Amino acid sequence: MSDPNNGFTTLNIPTSNISWALGPREFVFKYIKYLPWLIICVVVAFVLAYIRIRYTTRIYHVQSSMMIKEERASAGDNQRFDELFMNSGGVNLNDEIQILHSRPVMQRVAKDLGIQIRYFGTGKIIRSSLSYPDAPVKLEILGIADSSNGFGFQVNVLNDNLFNFGKGTKTMYFGQPFDLDRNRVVLYRNKLNDIHNYSSPQFLVRWDPIASAADGLIGGLKIVQADPQSTILTLSYETENISLGKDVLNTLMAVYDSLIVEDKKQINNNTLTFINLRLKELSDQLNGEENNIKDYRVKNEVFDIEGQSKMYLGNIEETSKQSAQQQVKIRVLNWLLDYLKNPSTRDSLVPVNVGIEEPVLGQLVAEYNRLQQEKESNLKTTPANNPMIIAMESRLEKLRIQMVQVLINVREGYQISLDKMDQQAEGFQGQLRALPGKTMQLVNIQRRQKILEDLYSFLLMKNLETSISSASTISNSKIVEPALGSFEPVTPNKKNIYTIYFLLGLVLPVGVISLLELMRDKVNNRVDVEKRTTAPILGEIGHSEEDEILVVTKNSRRFIAEQFRIIRSNLKYMTVKKENPFLMVTSSFSGEGKSFVSINVAAVMALGGRKTALMEFDIRKPKIMESLNLKRKMGITNYIIGRAKLDDIIIPVPGFENLFVIPCGPIPPNPAELLLDPKLDELMAEVRGRFDVVVMDTAPVGLVSDSISLGKFTDCTLFVIRQGHTYRKILRLVEDLYIEKKLPSISILLNDVKLEGGYYTGYYGGYGYYGGYGYGIESGYFEKPAKKKPLSYIKRLRRWWEKWFR
């Protein structure tokens, strides 16, 4: 029965058509070598997170709330008077928020708290902290050269009496005035604060202009409406000093409250001034009218006329009453016009609606008074020639012109109504013309007196009401909750920082490992081979740390020697029907350990009692003789050209009874053509008759065609693939050679297999534990390798790099 494999038995080895994937255990053992790097990265990330938290200024959240009460105008005839004179009405929370957030208000807060001067305690390394409300030193300003520029200096407290500046050697006494940047200042020691309570005796003293101090407060302040349906505002402030945050919010609410009271008092005072002036004028006019009536009665002897004149007089009286009311309004309008046109009252608030019912006028006056107050507030901190003040004055002038025009229009309307009333009165008076003229003149005088009395009574009542209101002025704000600070800082957030840095400590190494895995284009393990070729794997050779190439010796029990013995056993199954097998060892390119495998395969065959010849067919780059420390003699090329016989080129290997080397001889200029010479057939036939096993070390099949030419003499081809050295794309070449049978009975030998995370790939698709669980070099079954001299730092670094990043 013929053998379909030409006398060779192929190992039953899994091929790539069988799905092969890493299980959980294999995955862990493959990547466990990166675990130290992962742990180091996580530890470094936690250290960096701790450093960031340690040297980041802690920011605390302080919060309070206040209610803006809505003051409603009183009902009745005086409602509009109250609205315009007292500036009351609906509350616009957006306007109130802007007022609370404005620079003038914050400047008053900064001034009340005295935070133009700040003191910072210097930390041991980097961070410094604000000393508030008390500090171990106190700065007093005696004279400022430029109030728009701040200044600061570092002070080192030596004792309760002496200090110096920074690292300077000049010492000064506390309480001794000195000049600093043309500013005259004096520094005092606050002995109530023990200097030993601070981390360092060095402090930074800083003075800032009031505008800069206010801007610093505005930056940390937030004001929002608690609920769209309520008038409660929530004030929050973020600061490194909780005491400062509480004082800022509480002082801000107090300053706002005082501003509201001041505004109301100013309006009341202006209103009282206006009313008192008008009362004085009316008093003089009433006195004059009363004297006129007295003189008229005495001079003309006028008496009351009864009878039919009562009806006419009643109509006249009603008309006169309406006319008097209308004339009061016109008189008030004239006074307001005179008030607006008077240059002396140009910068004063305008009192309005003293009985005048005109919505447009009320809106203009309210806007004019608001803008006038804002200008006065800004003039406290801003010069009059400031563009903002000029713009506000321009706006005030426009509003003043608009109010004058509205008053003129209203007066014309009132005048038209008065004319109609006078026409009615003239009709009634026509009916009384028959009465004595003296009586009519008296009525006219009394009517003027009545008008003045009504107007005087009206203003007198308003004077009393305004005085009472001014005496009982209160703010429309109420503190709902005083400022409270958080116990934990909002910045830095330890939990978030540690979480982010922990994730970075995981993501960065995992990303690098993934990138390295993606960039690997070389064979890394047995799985890479099985996935890319269906050629069988004969065995695996571990990494050798020995300097000697020949690792298989007679009494050697080293692990790598036992691996070659296992390969010898596998070769028996593949060459079971061949008495004198020819084994060809090749690879894809140089450096894959082809010569190392050839020498040790031949040696292990010779140790098995079979006469073995190692033929050096890599005639382009021979290494066999040099590796075995043998002198070069005549070889294969000499035989082919007829200048030597077989006995002349056979060289025994010292120490091996059955191992012989047939060197390549001199390197010819035409190696490929030399291997096609008929003399090579004679040589191979003669060798087959003289030796039991022949191992041919050939040139790399991926570079030259020498191995293809020698394939006709080969019974079994060992294709050497080196882990971490052979490119994965070379496996396509192996697959082509195996499928197309360009080389007989190709079997793959995986060389230089290294330990991966304590896990070692075994044979025939199985797995064996190397270096753990009692199965490795330490199991007692193998001879321990001899101790070697310590490697240099460069070689250590290189091997470390290959171990982790190859």
CB count within 10 Å of CB 520 equals: 14
Q: What percent of the chain has pLDDT over 90?
A: 9
Dihedral sign of CA atoms 243, 248, 253, 255 in order: positive
Please tell me the distance from the alpha carbon of residue 758 to that of residue 547, in angstroms, as a whole number: 24
Q: Is the pLDDT of residue 591 over 60?
A: yes
Structure tokens at 683: 């040589």
Task: State residue 69's pLDDT score.
Answer: 78
Share of the chain above pLDDT 70, in %: 80
Average pLDDT value for the chain:
78
Instruction: Calculate mean pLDDT across residues 691-701.
Output: 90
Q: What is the pTM (predicted TM-score) of this model?
A: 0.53
Over residues 273-284, the pLDDT tens digits come to 888 888 888 888
DSSP string of 69-135, one letter each residue: --BPPPSSTTHHHHHHHTT-B---HHHHHHHHTSHHHHHHHHHHHTTTEEEEEEPSSS-EEE--S--
Mean pLDDT value across residues 420-428: 76
Token pair for 175: 């309480």
Query: Hey, is 338 helix, strand or coil?
Result: helix
Task: Return the pLDDT at 500.
Answer: 93
Above 90 in pLDDT, residue 336? no
Task: State mean pLDDT over 92-106.
Answer: 86
Per mean pLDDT, which range of 250-254, 438-442, 709-713 is the poorest? Answer: 438-442
Stretch(es) of the chain classified as CATH 3.40.50.300: 523-805
Stated as kind and residue range, the H or E segment containing 586 is: strand 582-587
Exposed / middle / buried, residue 394 (Cβ in 10 Å: 0-12, 13-18, 19+): exposed
Q: What is the CA radius of gyration of the chain?
A: 56
- Amino acid sitting at position 377: S
Nearest to 30 by CA among 621, 401, 528: 528
* DSSP letter for each residue of 495-548: HHHHHHHHHHHHHHHHHHHHHHHHH--B--SHHHHHHH--SPEEEEEE----S-
Taking a C-beta distance cutoff of 8 angstroms, is the pair 166, 154 a contact? Answer: yes
Instruction: Identify the pLDDT of residue 503.
Output: 92
Tell me the C-alpha distance between 778 and 768, whole Å: 14
Helix axes 242-300, 93-100, angle to 10 degrees: 120
Q: Lowest mean pLDDT: which of 225-229, 240-244, 727-731, 802-806?
A: 802-806
Gap between the Cα atoms of 225 and 348, Å rounded? 34
Written as one letter, the residue type at 590 is S
For the domain spanning 523-805, the CATH number is: 3.40.50.300
Distance in angstroms (rounded) separating the CA atoms of residues 228 and 209? 37
Structure tokens at 728: 């994965």
- Residue owning tokens 């494999």: 5
> What is the C-alpha separation between 737 and 745, in angstroms, rounded?
10
Q: Which amino acid is at 129?
A: S
Residue given tokens 């009384």 in the structure block = 432
Range with lowest mean pLDDT among 4-18, 284-298, 518-532, 556-570: 4-18
**Mean pLDDT across the stretch 283-309?**
68
pLDDT the model gives residue 435:
54
Q: What is the mean pLDDT of residues 549-576?
A: 82
Q: Which two tokens stand for residue 587?
A: 């690879």
pLDDT at 797: 61
| Residue type at position 717 | T
The answer, yes or no, to whether residue 691 has pLDDT greater than 90, is yes
User: Each residue of 197-235: b (16+ CB within 10 Å) or e?
Assistant: ebeebbbbbbbbbbbebbeebbebbebebeeeeebbbbb
Higher pLDDT, 477 or 581: 581
The pLDDT score that the predictor gives to residue 319 is 79
Residue 569: how many other CB atoms lie within 10 Å: 11
Token pair belonging to 596: 């190392």
Asked whether residue 463 carries a pLDDT value surpassing 80, the answer given is: no
Per-residue model confidence as pLDDT tens digits over 480-533: 889 888 888 888 888 899 999 999 988 988 888 888 777 777 787 788 788 888
Residue range 620-647, pLDDT digits in tens: 888 888 888 888 778 988 998 888 898 8
- Which residues, 6+ apart, have CB-to-CB distance to 511 below 8 Å? none
Residues 230, 123 contacting (CB under 8 angstroms) = no
Q: Mark out the alpha helices in 552-668 (DSSP H runs).
A: 559-574, 594-607, 624-627, 636-640, 646-649
Q: Provide the 3-class DSSP secondary structure of residue 309.
A: helix
Q: Give me the residue label for tokens 């005083």.
A: 482
Residue 763 pLDDT exceeds 50:
no
Q: Tell me if 23 sits within 8 A of 527, measured CB to CB.
A: no
DSSP codes joined into one string, 422-491? HHHHHHHHHHTTTS-HHHHHHHHHHHHHHHHHHHHHHHHHHHHHHHHHHHT---SEEEEEEEEE-SS-SB
The closest of 630, 663, 631, 627 to 644, measured between CA atoms, is: 663
pLDDT-derived band at 758 (thresholds 50, 70, 90) equals very low
Write down the pLDDT at residue 694. Answer: 93
pLDDT of 12 higher than 50 = no
Of the candidates 783, 749, 768, the one whose C-alpha atom is nearest the C-alpha of residue 560 is 783
Q: Which of 20-24, 118-122, 330-334 has the highest mean pLDDT?
A: 118-122
379 is written with which tokens? 């003039």
Q: CA 206, 207, 212, 213: dihedral to nearest 10 degrees?
A: 80
Q: What are phi and psi of 659, to 5 degrees?
A: -110, 130
The model's pLDDT over 67-86, given as tens digits with 9 standing for 90+, comes to 887 765 444 445 544 544 44
